[in-house]
């Protein structure tokens, strides 16, 4: 089954909730999982995913390909991703526009790129290589960041759009990441949204951040903030109705909390449809 993602609110499915979802089959429009958690040859996790994807549209979201790294693209990682995608036939395959390894050292962070023409050439070549290898279009996601590089010459939003323009990939627009970067770096979030052609946007992410320190940290460990819901509403006004995912990765709450967040996203989606009509 290779269903498209519905233009509805989905939930990022994490290990603590898999048993409950398999038992109760809750009414969730679609699920997204982290690809790397299912790279094993077999085992319980993959068997569970086979059952999930039989009942729900599924999206594969990568966190470890290190698309922007200067190391050679990890072809073993890519081969595992292709094997998984060929098995579960996801509606979407996405990765982050970032780097997370150098000189064969891997980090658990999605690190920002310098936004230069050289980095753009580099990352576009790698996105094309990934798409050729997988035999499908991927989505790339804008990341949150806590620093900028003095070498950057291109606004982040122009860089992100240029990657999609040059490679034909789609965009996974993380509205929370736009908000976090706008606050951390003094970018105008509405200018960012206005720069993105609606036709490129295939998916939206929403998550919560930590505001207790000197800058916003994208923890995926809190409810979506009111200002991010407001920005999401403006994003839907610009992009139209887009499949939207609730992500929660630290201090993972009861599944019902995620369902409530998804229900809120769904109400924004419904309202955007009413405005469009
Ligand atoms: Fe995200």
pLDDT for 230-272, tens place per residue?
A: 999 999 999 999 999 999 999 999 999 999 999 999 999 999 9
pLDDT of residue 93: 98
**Position 26 pLDDT exceeds 50:** yes
DSSP string, 56-121: S-EEEE-SSS-TT-SSPP-HHHHHHHHHHHHHH--SEEEEESSEEEETTEEEEEEEPPP-SHHHHH
Helix (H) or strand (E) holding 31: strand 31-34
User: What's the burial of 137, exposed, middle or buried (CB within 10 Å: 0-12/13-18/19+)?
Assistant: middle
pLDDT band at 275 (very low <50, low <70, confident <90, very high): low
Retrieve residue 46's tokens: 């993959």
The dihedral region occupied by 21, where left means phi > 0, alpha psi between -120 and 50, and beta the remainder, is alpha
pLDDT of residue 276: 61
Strands in the chain per DSSP E:
9-12, 31-34, 58-61, 92-96, 99-102, 105-111, 139-141, 170-174, 201-206, 244-246
Q: How far does residue 203's CA lie from ligand 1's centre (Å)?
A: 10
Q: How far does residue 150's CA lie from ligand 1's centre (Å)?
A: 25
CB of 104 closer than 8 Å to CB of 138: no
Nearest alpha-carbon partner for 147 in 86, 216, 90, 195:
216
**Position 209 pLDDT exceeds 70:** yes
Q: How far does residue 235's CA lie from ligand 1's centre (Å)?
A: 15
pLDDT band at 4 (very low <50, low <70, confident <90, very high): confident
121-127 average pLDDT score: 97
Name the pTM for this structure. 0.95
pLDDT of residue 1: 43
| DSSP structure class, residue 210 | B
Q: How far does residue 115's CA lie from ligand 1's centre (Å)?
A: 19
41-65 average pLDDT score: 96
Nearest alpha-carbon partner for 197 in 230, 244, 239:
239
Nearest alpha-carbon partner for 6 in 123, 74, 91:
91
Residue the block writes with tokens 């990441």: 177
Strand, coil or helix: what is 158?
Answer: helix
Q: How far does residue 37's CA lie from ligand 1's centre (Å)?
A: 16
Retrieve residue 218's tokens: 């994208």
Q: How far does residue 184's CA lie from ligand 1's centre (Å)?
A: 17
Q: How far does residue 95's CA lie from ligand 1's centre (Å)?
A: 9
Distance CA 116, CA 45 (A): 40
pLDDT of residue 103: 85
Higher pLDDT, 106 or 120: 120
Q: What percent of the chain has pLDDT over 70?
A: 97
Q: How far does residue 228's CA lie from ligand 1's centre (Å)?
A: 13
Task: Dump pLDDT digits (tens) for 153-172.
Answer: 999 999 999 999 999 999 99
pLDDT of residue 277: 57
Residue the block writes with tokens 């498209």: 4
**Position 179 pLDDT exceeds 60:** yes
CB of 119 closer than 8 Å to CB of 148: no
Nearest alpha-carbon partner for 36 in 49, 52, 21:
49
**Position 88 pLDDT exceeds 80:** yes
């Amino acid at each position: 089954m290779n269903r498209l993602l519905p233009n509805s609110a989905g939930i990022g499915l994490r290990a603590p909730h898999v048993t409950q979802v398999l038992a109760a089959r809750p009414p969730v429009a679609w699920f997204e999982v982290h690809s790397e958690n299912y790279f094993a040859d077999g085992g319980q996790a993959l068997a569970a995913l086979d059952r999930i994807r039989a009942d729900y549209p599924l999206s594969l979201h990568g966190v470890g390909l290190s698309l922007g790294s200067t190391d050679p693209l990890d072809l073993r990682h890519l081969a595992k991703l292709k094997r998984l995608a060929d098995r579960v036939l996801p509606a979407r395959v996405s990765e982050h526009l970032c780097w997370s390894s150098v000189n064969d050292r891997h980090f658990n962070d999605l690190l920002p790129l310098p936004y230069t023409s050289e980095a753009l050439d580099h990352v576009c070549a790698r996105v094309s290589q990934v798409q050729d290898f997988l035999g499908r279009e991927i989505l790339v996601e804008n990341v949150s960041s806590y620093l900028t590089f003095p070498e950057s010459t291109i606004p982040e939003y122009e860089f992100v759009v240029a990657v999609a323009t040059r490679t034909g990939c789609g965009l996974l627009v993380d509205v929370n990441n736009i908000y976090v970067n706008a606050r951390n770096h003094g970018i105008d979030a509405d200018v960012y949204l206005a720069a993105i052609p609606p036709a490129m946007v295939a998916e939206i992410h929403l998550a919560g951040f930590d505001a207790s320190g000197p800058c916003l940290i994208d923890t995926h460990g809190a409810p979506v903030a009111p200002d991010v819901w407001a920005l999401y509403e403006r994003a839907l006004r610009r992009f139209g109705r887009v499949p939207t995912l609730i992500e929660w990765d630290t201090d993972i709450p009861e599944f019902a909390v995620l369902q409530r967040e998804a229900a809120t996203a769904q109400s924004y989606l419904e309202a955007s449809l009413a405005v469009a009509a």
